[in-house]
């Protein structure tokens, strides 16, 4: 094996893809329906690097490759989450502050436990950084302590359980995800006969229900043609109207207007046609449904938007993205024209938008390199945090003039997964190279106990607070746990278990920035004690 390790040490790119390939294969193995997913790449990389060290060979993938992978991953997560992140931020301030509180409390616990175990303060700071799996916190602790060895040993010993322990907690959180109260509602479509005489306006009804419903078709009178519903339409006695939305909202609007009709307007294709169309034309992306003005252009309307595997009601303020599949209702003779206007090409699913990718990554990496002053020194948010912030902003903006600033959902998911695998392979090789030296330390067992205490406290604290106080569902909680741990391996594991449920990425992006800042500041404080 010594010769194999020497050969791989001279071929870091080959080593990268060997670890990704073999680790991913191991990750696909499931025991009782549970597999490690992409986290297996991290664990395999740690094992291979530690094994090679026992032969006297330093096997490590260059740090620059890992930085590229992590920045690519966080940028694409930001792009995917940006459209919903800022709208969720205000109502999610409580969970964000709770995450910061749990991390601060874990640092206080680490200091007390370290004192009981008679560990040096610098070792405690590094052990805490490893238990919460945050390399920038380790760097801050080393700078503040003026000691590179102690914090690094503590970090290397506690890091592995920091990942594995949180993976166990995520598995517990996802155990009953099918009962999540905050799951996206299933959309239904119903034709309603109007039995009220006060001529309600469609726009007023949609606003009354918080834009959670959409009127898609209307027929005035028995002999009138069916046509797409317009926001300005007034509903008359005996009109038939089709409504799309969550079942409870549809039940409510049915009671308000009249009763569910035995007629189904969507089944009548004499006047209108319906089609799922892929958005691939850039002029249609980055605009809200209202800004598309399909009624004015084609006499058409959009009732639903499918992004990834999730169906959403096409409310007026919903921003359309490249790769979305829109459910269009239009006059039969104009459907081909509507389809051409949207593009309807598979390119809308796979275009990586090189301009957005290149410039967005550039701005994010530069932002991460800016030093910010803190008491007694300075810190940098790092390329991962910088690219995440830029990705969130670009995903929210949607377009700047003629330039679309978001990436198709499918393409962004593929790019983020590739970046994640690259980062995990590099991070594991680095940790594996250090872990051998760490375990030669006579105090490694006490360090490990400290790490288990901290990781267990953080995972348990997050679970209890989020579930009991904020009633967060298990699916979103798994993403929050990954974001609080600032650990892409946790996100990858949760994504694999949930088939990339959008709530996972949203939970991750929601708390990641606050968790990153908290860890850097706390790491510096612990290192300076």
CATH code of the region 187-348: 3.30.70.1450
Please name which of 101, 137, 99, 381 lies closest in space to residue 124, comparing C-alpha atoms: 137
Spatial distance between the Cα atoms of 384 and 365, rounded to a whole number of angstroms:
8
pLDDT in tens, the chain (529 residues): 778 888 888 898 999 999 999 988 888 777 665 566 666 787 788 888 888 887 788 888 888 888 888 888 888 878 887 777 777 677 788 898 999 999 999 999 999 999 999 998 988 998 999 899 887 687 678 767 877 667 877 887 888 789 889 999 999 999 888 888 777 777 888 999 999 989 999 999 989 998 889 998 899 877 788 888 888 889 999 999 999 998 889 999 999 999 999 888 887 777 788 899 999 888 888 888 889 888 888 888 898 888 876 788 888 888 888 888 999 988 888 899 999 999 888 777 777 888 889 999 999 999 888 887 765 667 677 787 788 889 888 988 888 888 888 888 888 888 888 887 888 788 778 777 766 666 666 788 999 999 999 999 999 999 999 999 998 999 999 999 998 998 877 888 888 888 778 788 778 878 887 887 788 779 878 988 8
- 259 contact partners, CB below 8 Å, separation of at least 6: 192, 193, 195
> What per-residue confidence (pLDDT) applies to 21?
92
> What per-residue confidence (pLDDT) applies to 326?
92
Specify the 3-state DSSP secondary structure of 388. Answer: helix
Tokens of 61: 């993938």
Instruction: Please give the helix or strand (H or E) that residue 249 lies within, else none.
Output: helix 247-257
> What per-residue confidence (pLDDT) applies to 125?
93
Please name which of 326, 332, 328, 327 lies closest in space to residue 348, comparing C-alpha atoms: 326
- Number of separate helices (H) and strands (E) present in the chain: 21, 13
* Greatest extent of the chain over all pairs of C-alpha atoms, in Å: 89
Residue 84 CB coordination number (10 Å): 18
Contact between residue 481 and residue 173 where contact means Cβ atoms under 8 Å apart = yes
> What per-residue confidence (pLDDT) applies to 374?
65
> What per-residue confidence (pLDDT) applies to 132?
94
Spatial distance between the Cα atoms of 24 and 19, rounded to a whole number of angstroms:
8
Spatial distance between the Cα atoms of 257 and 238, rounded to a whole number of angstroms:
10
> What per-residue confidence (pLDDT) applies to 32?
60
> What per-residue confidence (pLDDT) applies to 2?
79
Per-residue DSSP letters for 278-338?
EB--GGGTTSBHHHH-HHHHHS-EEEEEEETTEEEE--TTPBP-TT-EEEEEEEGGGHHHH
Please name which of 108, 163, 104, 101 lies closest in space to residue 131, comparing C-alpha atoms: 163
The 3-state secondary structure of 23-50, one letter per residue: HHHHHCCCECCECCCCHHHHHHHHHHHH
- 133 contact partners, CB below 8 Å, separation of at least 6: 159, 162, 163, 166, 485, 486, 487
Specify the 3-state DSSP secondary structure of 371. Answer: strand
Question: Apex CA 196: angle with CA 194 and CA 202, to 5°?
Answer: 65
Residues, the chain, total?
529
Contact between residue 484 and residue 461 where contact means Cβ atoms under 8 Å apart = no
> What per-residue confidence (pLDDT) applies to 376?
62
Tokens of 24: 């991913």
Instruction: Delimit the domains of the chain by residue range.
Output: 187-348
Spatial distance between the Cα atoms of 264 and 250, rounded to a whole number of angstroms:
15
């Amino acid at each position: 094996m010594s010769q194999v390790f020497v050969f791989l040490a001279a071929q870091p790119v080959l080593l990268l893809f060997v670890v990704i390939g073999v680790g991913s294969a191991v990750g696909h193995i499931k025991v009782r329906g549970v597999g490690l997913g992409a986290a297996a790449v991290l664990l395999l990389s740690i094992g291979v690097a530690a094994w090679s060290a026992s032969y006297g060979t330093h096997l490590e993938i260059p740090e620059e490759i890992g930085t590229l992978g992590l920045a690519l991953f966080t940028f694409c997560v930001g792009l995917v989450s940006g459209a919903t992140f800022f709208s969720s931020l205000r109502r999610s301030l409580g969970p964000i502050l709770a995450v910061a509180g749990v991390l601060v409390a874990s640092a206080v616990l680490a200091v007390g436990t370290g004192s009981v175990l008679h560990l040096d303060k610098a070792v405690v700071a590094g052990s805490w950084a490893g238990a919460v799996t945050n390399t920038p916190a380790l760097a801050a602790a080393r700078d503040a302590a003026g000691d590179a060895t102690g914090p690094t040993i503590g970090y290397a010993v506690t890091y592995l359980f920091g990942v594995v322990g949180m993976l166990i907690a995520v598995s517990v959180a996802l155990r009953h995800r099918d009962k999540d109260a905050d799951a996206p509602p299933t959309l239904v479509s119903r034709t309603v006969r109007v039995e009220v005489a006060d001529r309600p306006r469609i726009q007023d009804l949609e606003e009354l229900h918080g834009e959670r419903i959409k009127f898609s078709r209307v027929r005035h009178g028995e002999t009138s043609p069916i046509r797409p519903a317009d926001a300005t339409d007034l509903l008359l006695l005996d009109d038939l109207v089709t409504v799309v939305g969550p079942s409870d909202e549809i039940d409510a609007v049915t009671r308000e207007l009249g009763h569910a009709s035995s007629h189904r307007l969507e089944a009548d294709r004499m006047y209108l046609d319906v089609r799922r169309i892929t958005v691939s034309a850039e002029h249609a992306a980055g605009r809200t449904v209202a800004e598309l003005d399909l009624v004015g252009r084609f006499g058409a309307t959009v009732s639903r938007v499918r992004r990834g595997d999730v169906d959403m009601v096409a409310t007026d303020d919903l921003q359309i993205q490249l790769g979305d599949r829109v459910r269009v209702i239009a006059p039969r003779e104009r459907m081909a024209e509507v389809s051409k206007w949207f593009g309807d090409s598979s390119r809308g699913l796979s275009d990586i938008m090189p301009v957005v990718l290149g410039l967005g990554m550039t701005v994010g990496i530069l932002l991460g390199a800016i030093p910010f002053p803190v008491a007694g020194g300075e810190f940098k948010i790092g390329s991962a945090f910088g690219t995440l912030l830029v990705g969130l902003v670009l995903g929210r903006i949607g377009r700047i003039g003629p330039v679309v600033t978001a990436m198709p959902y499918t393409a962004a998911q593929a790019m983020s997964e590739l970046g994640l695998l690259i980062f995990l392979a590099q991070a594991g090789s680095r940790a594996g190279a250090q872990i051998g030296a760490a375990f030669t330390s006579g105090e490694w067992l006490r360090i490990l106990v400290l790490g288990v205490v901290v990781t267990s406290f953080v995972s348990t604290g997050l679970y209890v607070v989020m579930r009991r106080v904020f009633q967060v569902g298990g699916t979103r909680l798994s993403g929050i746990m990954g974001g609080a741990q600032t650990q892409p391996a946790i996100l990858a594991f949760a994504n694999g278990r949930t088939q990339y449920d959008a709530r996972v990425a949203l939970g991750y992006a929601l708390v990641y920035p606050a968790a990153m800042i908290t860890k850097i500041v706390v790491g510096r404080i612990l290192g300076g004690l």
